[in-house]
Structure 1
Amino acid sequence: MSKSTRATKMLEKAGIAFTVHTYEYDPNADRIGMQAAAALDEMPARVLKTLMALVDDKAVLVIVPSDHEVSMKKLAAAFGGKSAHMMKPADAERISGYKVGGISPFGQMRKLAAAIEEQAMMHDLIFINGGQRGLQVRLAPHDAAKVLNAVVAPLVT
């Protein structure tokens, strides 16, 4: 497994401090984020999952704790939209340039608006996918929000 991805290169270029952590990815896991948290022996609230959604038909990134579900109503509100729904996996892969299970908000094929669940900001460090299945980057949540120019808002049910 390569520890250098578009995501890690973007973080390096931006001068963001991070560490890389690998784990045994389980393609059959029901909840990939929860499997990553267990494999890393981390609290699920600190291991964030990156989801791709559409708000008023515009692609956005949604970053929430792996043990929570996104509220579509809150997601739409975070972007000032009227409606939101999750993107189809094939569309998420095409737009992000990453495979499902390895989608990172960093180093995507094109810059998308991003939102991070406000609860994530309570932690000193969080884990976010590093652009490859079985690869996570650990960084300060404020650094993640800054480099993504993300909205920090309540997003979960």
Structure 2
Amino acid sequence: MAKKQKKQQKQPGTGGTPATVALTAAGTSYTVHAYEHDPAHPSYGDEAAEATGVSPDRVFKTLVAEVDGELTVAVVPVAGTLNLKALAAAVSGKRAVMADPAAAERTTGYVRGGISPLGQRKKLRTVLDDSASGHTTICVSAGRRGLEVELAPADLATLTGAVLAPIGRE
């Protein structure tokens, strides 16, 4: 057990996730925001905004939905919600529902509350809410609870192959 703890201590609290590895490998400019995750907090996204001091309209949550049976990633501001009809339309689908959390975790390689649109185990089609383009930078999960990455929305869209569409609602 001591070895395991020592190994974890060697990893800096700001790196080592598939998301940050992907960003580094791509040569993308980014900033990591680490904070102590509170398991009792009712909302991962709101907690990230509060803990990092970043406005909730610039902190984006990563949600996994099923559009016509195919898993699809939706990235929307934590200040709002996902419009499932708009998500389906953005990928030329007919019907969208939220994915089973276990399927989302298994497919992305991340745990709920720490799912990043970057560095996923299986690359899923991704839709980024178009409100992101109104900001110089946005924050998304860096791949674990208590870790956010801040980057330009255009870089996020490029790295994930995301389509920009109005999929969020306040």
Q: TM-score range by the shorter chain?
A: over 0.9
User: Which TM-score applies when normalising by structure 1?
Assistant: 0.97
Q: 4+ residue runs of structure 1 moved beyond 6 angstroms? A: none
Q: Which runs of 5+ in 2 are unaligned?
A: 1-12
The match for 2:19 is 7
Identity %: 45
Q: Compare CA radii of gyration and give the structure with the larger one.
A: 2
Match of 1:84 in 2: 96
C-alpha RMSD of the superposition? 1.0
Instruction: Give ranges in structure 1 of 5+ residues lacking alignment.
Output: none
Q: Name the residue aligned to 2:6.
A: none
Give the equivalent residue in structure 2 for 1:18. Answer: 30
Indicate the residue corresponding to 1:138 in structure 2.
150
Matched, 1:125 2:137: yes
Q: Deviations over 1:43-77 (max 9, x none)?
A: 10101000111100101111000011001110100
Match of 1:101 in 2: 113
Q: 1-side partners of 2:47 and 2:14: how far apart?
A: 20
Q: Matched residue of 1:9: which SS? A: helix
Aligned pair 1:114/2:154, yes or no? no
Are 1:74 and 2:75 an aligned pair? no
Q: 2:66 maps to which residue?
A: 54
- Give, as a single letter, the amino acid of the residue that structure 1 aligns with 2:155: D
Q: Aligned letter for 1:128?
A: V
Aligned AA (1:4): G
Q: Secondary structure at the match of 2:114?
A: coil
Whole-angstrom distance in 2 between the partners of 1:131 and 1:21? 12
Count of residues in correspondence between the two structures: 157
Contact 2:82–2:168 (Cα < 8 Å) also in 1: yes
1:27 corresponds to: 39
Check conservation: 2:14, 2:33, Cα contact below 8 A.
no
Distance 1:83 1:18 in 2: 34
Counterpart amino acid of residue 129 in structure 1: S
Given the two structures, how large is their TM-score scaled by the length of structure 2?
Answer: 0.89
Shift of 1:29: 2.0
Distance 1:2-1:21 versus aligned 2 partners, 3 A rule: closer
